[in-house]
Chain A
Amino acid sequence: MTYFPYLVAAWILACGLYGLVTNRDLIHQIICLIVVQSSTYVMLLATGYVTGGIAPYFSDVPGSPKAVDPVVQALALTDVVVEAAVTALLASFAIQAHKRFGTLDPQDLAEFKG
């Protein structure tokens, strides 16, 4: 268990990169990019986890008990939402490319250059 969560994050990264390289469709590639990005959330939260720690919310907890790291959670939290907006921007690029060239295959799109 010592390194297992980190290895899962690395595996997710590898999966996403594999998809990015081998897929020939812009929408598939956007989805693979989302997978790549999700590996960073797993990595961040795994590094901040403390065995036996509680979530950093102290509304109904007296004293100061052991809690997990709030800083990495704050990083992951904002990033999840911003990722969605960036996906929307990428999707609009895909829509416009499709309108102009009638294809979503990046190899075909390369031929239209110039």
Chain B
Amino acid sequence: MMTQALQVVILVLVALGATLVVMVRGRVRQVVALSAYGIGLAVLFFTMQAPDVTLSELVVGAVALPLILLLTIARVRWRR
């Protein structure tokens, strides 16, 4: 019962998070929102008894994707 309550709360958070990521304007803000959304997903996967996917989502969502996107943003912003 406890698990299910937790799952519902996190599912709602993840749904809101996805909406937020899509609606936020501004590239850097969107990357930060995406990173937070990734952590939300990781917690969701953990409550669904998938620790390995949690780990995968954490390292990719919190490290790899923000890094790739922020470097890309830095590159296209740059002018000389």
Contact = CB atoms under 8 A, between A and B. Distances in A.
Contact of B30 (A31, A51, A54, A94): A31
Query: B interface, by DSSP: helix, strand, loop or mixed?
Result: helix
Interface core residue of A16, A18, A39, A88 (most chain B CB under 10 Å): A88
A112 to B, nearest CB: 16
Contact of B51 (A28, A30, A55): A55
Nearest to B27: A27
Chain A interface, >50% SS class: helix
Interface in B21-80: 21-23, 27, 30-31, 34, 37-38, 41, 44-45, 48-53, 56-57, 60, 64-65, 68-69, 71-73, 75-76
B34 to A, nearest CB: 6
